Amino acid sequence: MKNVLVISHMYPSPFNSVLGIFVHKQVQKLISEGCKVKVVCPVPYVPAFLGIIKKYKSYIDIPSTTVLDGVEVFYPRYIEFPRGIFLQYSGFFMYLGIKKTVSKLYKNFKFNVIHAHTAIPVGFSSMLLDKKYKVPFVVTIHGQDFQYTIKKNNRCRKNVFKVLKGANKIITVSNKLRNVITQGYLLDKTVVINNGINPEEYIIDEQIELQGEYVMISVSALIKTKGIDLNIKALSKLVKKYPTIKYYIIGDGEESKNLKKLVETLNLNKNVIFLGKLPHSEVIKYMSSKCDVFSLPSWQEGFGIVYIEAMNSGIPVIGIKGQGIEDVIKDRKNGFLAKPHDVDDLANIIDYILSHKSEARKVGLNGENTVLSEFTWLRNAQKTIDIYDEIMR
């Protein structure tokens, strides 16, 4: 019997239903495939007097334990410093915060595998736990470890690779992330298991009536690295040829004001619609409606589930060369890949999709078939269980 202790500081709670939803989806499938799983989700400790601030109150209100969709989740507190201060020591602080909870849990749940999501801080704390419980542990790298943490300072980098060295198995969610690892002895125990979706969750009984003869859509946090400004600039090159085109931007973030200003500067107010952050169920409705193209020219993407969500709806999808989505998209066969930071290339691809609707529709259908055959949480769970079996032997 595989008793799996999943440790992730990214996990849904009663006060944030989307944080780490991808970890929750994997856990649900692991359980349906026969694993017994308990989840420990460490939460930053917040003093009670800070409860008057909405952001901090949401941490305080998270219960010590709950059951989400049949999954038992524990939320121990640990010391975390703001703005990534002392990030190099965060794994040790997390260990101090969770060790008592894990000890109590172990009395009734003799876990024989630890699965950590991220190397720092979670993998480091799991590595320390592993010394006590002497069970194999696997670490999944989602992107932040390699795209941010190892660049923070030398100690952070050393601690990331200390975790990778200590793990029995390393999972990366894309080949892009695996390629960061150059040491042969680490590559030998590294496997790529892409994230996925549950196709049954994308069956809807209503669509949203979208304006425009041509419709483009993107879904993301509105931050610089997502490249939404590149979409807007590409649109400005195409609007004379496609004056009725509408570009729906779903999401919110720190770049929102700058993007709206850019739209105004380029006189695209009639063509660009900012929808803000929407519930996932609403996002699915937009993706399932009359969309001609999904474009997210993000240049710092470990994998990007939103791409395969769009592909699952049969929309021709544009990603960026050299990013994690290359594991999924084969250019011009089941999607499109643009050059990074290249507005002209992006505009040319969008133009091709809009002017060759029949061919683009075939590419979209190929993308849908790709997702259904290989990029589901069921396939992800099956591959992950194979890893558990290997390290338990």
C-alpha–C-alpha distance, residues 180 and 122, integer Å: 19
Tell me the pLDDT tens digit for each residue of 170-198.
999 999 999 999 999 999 999 999 999 99
pLDDT at 117: 98
pLDDT at 203: 86
Tell me, yes or no, whether 80 and 9 share the same domain.
yes
pLDDT at position 344 over 80: yes
pLDDT at 53: 81
Give the position of tokens 């999808």: 317
Tell me, yes or no, whether 166 and 288 share the same domain.
no
Tell me, yes or no, whether 283 and 150 share the same domain.
no
Tell me the pLDDT tens digit for each residue of 304-337.
999 999 999 999 999 999 999 999 999 999 999 9
Tell me the pLDDT tens digit for each residue of 129-180.
999 999 999 999 999 999 899 999 999 999 999 999 999 999 999 999 999 9
Q: Which has the minimum average pLDDT: 43-47, 346-350, 352-356?
A: 43-47
Percent of the chain topping pLDDT 70:
100
Tell me the pLDDT tens digit for each residue of 86-130.
999 999 999 999 999 999 999 999 999 999 999 999 999 999 999
- Domain total of the chain: 2
pLDDT at position 14 over 90: no
Tell me, yes or no, whether 96 and 113 share the same domain.
yes
Going by pLDDT thresholds of 50, 70 and 90, the confidence category of residue 357 is very high
Residue 40 DSSP label: E
Q: What are the E-state strand segments in 204-335?
A: 215-219, 246-250, 272-276, 293-295, 317-320
pLDDT at 246: 97
Given a contact cutoff of 8 angstroms between Cβ atoms, the answer to whether 194 and 328 are in contact is yes
Report the 10 Å Cβ neighbour count for 378: 14
Tell me, yes or no, whether 137 and 245 share the same domain.
no
C-alpha–C-alpha distance, residues 244 and 257, integer Å: 24
Tell me, yes or no, whether 182 and 314 share the same domain.
no
> Nearest-5° angle of CA 96, CA 136, CA 88?
40
Average pLDDT over residues 223-242: 97
pLDDT at position 210 over 90: no
0.85 exceeded by the pTM?
Answer: yes
pLDDT at 393: 87
pLDDT at 66: 96
C-alpha–C-alpha distance, residues 139 and 17, integer Å: 23
- Asked if omega into 121 is within 30° of 0 (cis), the reply is yes
pLDDT at 77: 97
Q: Which residue has the higher pLDDT, 1 or 40?
A: 40
Going by pLDDT thresholds of 50, 70 and 90, the confidence category of residue 4 is very high
Tell me, yes or no, whether 88 and 22 share the same domain.
yes
pLDDT at 152: 93
pLDDT at 279: 87
Tell me, yes or no, whether 35 and 133 share the same domain.
yes
Tell me the pLDDT tens digit for each residue of 37-59.
999 999 999 988 887 887 778 88
Q: Which has the minimum average pLDDT: 60-74, 198-212, 223-237?
A: 198-212
pLDDT at position 240 over 90: yes
pLDDT at 206: 76
Domain of residue 85: give its range: 3-196+376-392
Structure tokens at 323: 């990013």
HEC profile of 51-67: HHCHHHHHHHCCCCEEE
Structure tokens at 255: 């770049």
pLDDT at 290: 85
Q: What is the mean pLDDT of the chain?
A: 95
Tell me, yes or no, whether 181 and 269 share the same domain.
no
Q: CATH number of the domain that 256 lies in?
A: 3.40.50.2000
Report the 10 Å Cβ neighbour count for 385: 18
Tell me, yes or no, whether 163 and 272 share the same domain.
no
pLDDT at 205: 77
C-alpha–C-alpha distance, residues 199 and 201, integer Å: 5
Tell me, yes or no, whether 207 and 187 share the same domain.
no
Tell me, yes or no, whether 222 and 145 share the same domain.
no
pLDDT at 49: 85
HEC profile of 298-328: CCCCCCCHHHHHHHHCCCCEEEECCCHHHHC
